[in-house]
Amino acid sequence: MAPSTVKVPHDNRISFLDIRTILYSIIFGILFGFFMNKGTVFVAPTIRKQMLFQRFAMLKMFLAAVGTSMLSVALLTFTSHKLYEKIVNGYIEHNSRRGILHYIFGGTLIGLGMITCGSCPGTVFVQVGSGIVNSLFTCLGGVLGTYFYYIFVHEQVSLEKLPSSSLVLRRICDIFHIHSIIVHTIFGIILLGLSIGLEFVIPWKSDLNSSLLRKGTMNPNSALGHFLGMAAWPPSACGAGVGILQLFFIFFLEKSLGISSAFTVFAAQICRIKKVGQALPSLNSFAYGLKNHVSLLFAFGAIFGSALSSSLSGTIPLGAENGTNIFSSILGGFILLLGARCAGGCTSGQGISGMTHLLVGSFITTASIFGGGIIFAFSTLLSNNEWGFYNL
């Protein structure tokens, strides 16, 4: 049969691409929410106690995610070099108005916010899906923090574009004149190896909430759908799953993995009111366009993926002890998103994606996130009984 000569209308082609983008965004979000839920890194005790070095699921998952993401990008660079260069250049352009103080200050605020509300801009959506009610107040605080940034901060700190030679915009592979594939491969193997090694030193089942163990969902015979119904999986495996999503994001959506911008896109919808949009032009730019809405669709998918995981394991809704009180949730959410906007991303956007792209600024941000979180966690531990978590 001869090929059809009928031309597909341009509008129909655009519609097909839009539908495909929407589906990919939601599907990847579902996978993200499912992996994050199974890794149990979304509950407040896990996040807070990681900063106190009492639990290590979060560290295992983060190392595995970054390591796998780097190995994925090494493969992508080898097979689709031009595509990856396009993504990296776009990422550098996104951060071109942020200096070292943005990264240090923003990263430190994210660390403080994580300890305050027991969440981060990505895990809060996983908390919502698992039925932790007060996570909705964290979302509220996040939206308020986003508005505060764009009303009072953005125009003051994003005045000039940095030259491409600025240290924070340079990549480690360029500084040391080593091909990126080599750096990605070495870093990826080391980080993933550290994550797996930690699993042997600190077995993942000994690092879980006791309430999950009591429910017996660790036993495949009592879990719906066998291993899919288990309340937890090894954090290193879940982190590797999240890291693979970086490859999918770049290849299918042509952008880096990130989720904190979902708050910006949601907050920007008020700019559809003409006078508001004119008053906040920097926020107004996020109100339109499917490319902007990818992160919001990804967030909705994460909520569903987390709900699916919790439903299969019979742990939905999770108790209030897995979150924080209303005041801490709102305040923490506010600080989180203020920091994420200052730094240009959170633990996923700057931590996983930025480190994967080997940007110096992203390494500074990640160090500031954990440094700020650790210092604040230990200082708060000395003055707040809530940190005992005796019931977990």
| Distance separating alpha carbons of residues 223 and 387, to the nearest angstrom | 31
Cβ-contact 324, 332 below 8 angstroms? yes
Q: Which of 9-18, 40-49, 274-283, 300-309 has the lowest mean pLDDT?
A: 9-18
| Distance separating alpha carbons of residues 338 and 126, to the nearest angstrom | 20
| Distance separating alpha carbons of residues 65 and 195, to the nearest angstrom | 9
> Residue 223: what pLDDT?
53
Cβ neighbours of residue 21 under 8 Å, at least 6 residues apart? 253, 290, 294
> Residue 16: what pLDDT?
77
What tens digit of pLDDT does each residue of 14-65 get? 587 889 999 999 999 999 999 999 999 988 888 989 999 999 999 999 999 9
Take residue 121 and report the two structure tokens written for it: 């801009």
- Cα–Cα nearest to 340, from 162, 180, 172, 117: 117
Measuring CA to CA, how many Å separate 255 from each of 38, 86, 90?
A: 25, 9, 8
pLDDT at 330 exceeding the cut of 90: yes
Crossing angle between the packed helical segments 135-148 and 326-343, to the nearest 10 degrees: 40
> Which of helix, strand or coil describes residue 223?
coil
Q: Residue ranges of the domains in the chain? A: 19-383
> Residue 9: what pLDDT?
45
Interior angle at CA 299, CA 81 and CA 216, nearest 5: 110
> Residue 363: what pLDDT?
98
pLDDT at 221 exceeding the cut of 60: no
> Residue 17: what pLDDT?
83
> Residue 344: what pLDDT?
93
Please report, in angstroms and rounded to a whole number, the separation of the first and last CA atoms in the chain: 67
Model confidence at 8, pLDDT cuts 50, 70, 90, reads very low
pLDDT at 225 exceeding the cut of 80: no
Task: Please give the average per-residue pLDDT across 179-186, as a whole number.
Answer: 97
Which position has the token pair 């730019």? 285
pLDDT at 313 exceeding the cut of 90: no
Interior angle at CA 152, CA 144 and CA 164, nearest 5: 105
pLDDT at 339 exceeding the cut of 50: yes
Mean pLDDT of the chain, nearest integer: 88
Model confidence at 2, pLDDT cuts 50, 70, 90, reads very low
Model confidence at 264, pLDDT cuts 50, 70, 90, reads very high
320: DSSP letter: G
- Cα–Cα nearest to 59, from 187, 209, 192: 192
Model confidence at 210, pLDDT cuts 50, 70, 90, reads low
Cβ neighbours of residue 234 under 8 Å, at least 6 residues apart? 60, 199, 204
Model confidence at 319, pLDDT cuts 50, 70, 90, reads low
Cβ neighbours of residue 390 under 8 Å, at least 6 residues apart? none
Tell me what percent of the residues of the chain surpass a pLDDT of 70.
88
